[in-house]
Amino acid sequence: MSEDVEQIRRIAKETAREILDEEILGPLLNAFNGFEAIAVQFKHAISQAMGVVAVKEETFNILKFETQQGAKIGRYQVAYKASNIPDKWNHAYNILRQNNATIANRYYGEGYVYGYWLYGEGKIYRQKLKAPNKSS
């Protein structure tokens, strides 16, 4: 009899976990991703309204980037400190650090091809910006 109870408990736990994953956590994650995207756009709009202008993208384009592929974010590039001219790399790194550039809050300006962010030590990341959605 106790084996039956244990099997019922296991089935109940698995069912609850599936419902949580599929019906609650997935949609909740999608909603948070949407909020995050809106927040980033809003932050950039505020920066532009306040007259904060991003540096020219050339500051970053002079760095040597290596292409990589991620399961979640797709193609991106990394500039390693050791593979670049120290002064150029440090200048770009400091701009990103001062602007708190993260994967969720990428640094870019008007006309930029890439969004830039920091993660870990000695690395600058970038990924092509998606074209803005144009509604008719």
pLDDT in tens, 34-56: 776 677 667 667 766 665 567 89
Q: In this structure, are residues 77 and 126 in contact, taking their beta carbons and an 8 Å threshold?
A: yes
pLDDT of 136 higher than 70: no
User: In this predicted structure, which of 44-48, 58-62, 77-81 has the lowest mean pLDDT?
Assistant: 44-48
Query: Can you tell me the mean pLDDT for 23-28?
Result: 78
**Residue ranges per structural domain of the chain:** 1-52, 58-128
pTM, entire model: 0.61
